[in-house]
Structure 1
Amino acid sequence: MSYAESLGMQVLQASPELTRVTLTVTGTGLNMHGTAHGGLIFSLADEAFAVISNLEAQAVAADTHMSFFRAARAGDCLIARATPERVGRTLATYRVEVRRVEEEDDEEGSELLALFTGTVARRERTG
């Protein structure tokens, strides 16, 4: 079982233009304040970042940053939406919004909880 699977993540969509990954916050993902641990939210964003950045090339993270705006609680359904900001031959930067949604397919009016940006070093796949 992968790290993402052990946290309950599921890839809903994977394309070079938009990748969506979801998870539902459980009691094991809470911090000492009873809200979703920052590491859980970061892991969700990072998974969406990893999936989108490796679709067309072999990529490894070179830099990431995350800003947290609102808390999530147990039972909240979260979706990380990754989109490219700039994709070059050797570097690519992506934006990942983590949102709280009522249902996986209903992101209209969803609440932005965190914003992640990440840059990867990339190269063509071999073999």
Structure 2
Amino acid sequence: MIPKEIVNKMFQNDFFSQWLGITVESIEEGTCTLSMTIRKEMLNGFAIAHGGITYSLADSALAFASNSHGRQSVSIDTSINHIETLKEGDTIVAVAKQEALKNKFGFYTIEIKKENTVVALFKGTVFRSDKEWKE
């Protein structure tokens, strides 16, 4: 399967990413770009986006980018740095970039931006199973 087919198959059953309102902007082997808009129900008690929102967007970008090679992959270690706050109506974009790909592991960085401003940096490691994506 090609990367777009894999991500479409994953997204059909990914109800959380659908709830977030994620749009897949681009997908190629080892990279993925996603976007979404912050909604009122995503805000915390400070009226800014809950940290889990940017984390979730980055996690979805990691999942799609790491599975784009055709082998089913799952995250085993992730971390995020929150740099800027986000408010209702802000549109953010996550770009996942593959840093290294080994037989059993993949290493990725995801940069989340609002316009030209970096709002969060995410790092993820995935385990690459032997199971292939099939049509």
TM-score by length of 1: 0.89
Aligned length, in residue pairs: 119
Would you say 1:117 and 2:131 are equivalent positions? no
Partner of 2:131, secondary structure, is: coil
Moved over 4 A (4+): none
Q: Partner amino acid for 2:16?
A: Y
Q: Deviations over 1:66-106 (max 9, x none)?
A: 011110111111000000011111100000001002xxxxx
Residue number among 73, 91, 94 corresponding to 1:59 in the alignment: 73
Distance 1:99 1:16 in 2: 21
Alignment of 1:1-127 (within 5 A): 2-56=15-69, 57-101=71-115, 110-126=116-132
Offset of 1:17 from its aligned partner?
4.0
Match of 2:11 in 1: none
Provide the aligned C-alpha RMSD in A.
1.3
Which ranges of structure 2 fall in alignment gaps of 5 or more residues? 1-13
Structure 1's unaligned 5+ residue stretches are: 102-109
Identity %: 30
Measure the CA separation in 1 of the matches of 2:90 and 2:35. 10
Matched letter for residue 105 of structure 2: L
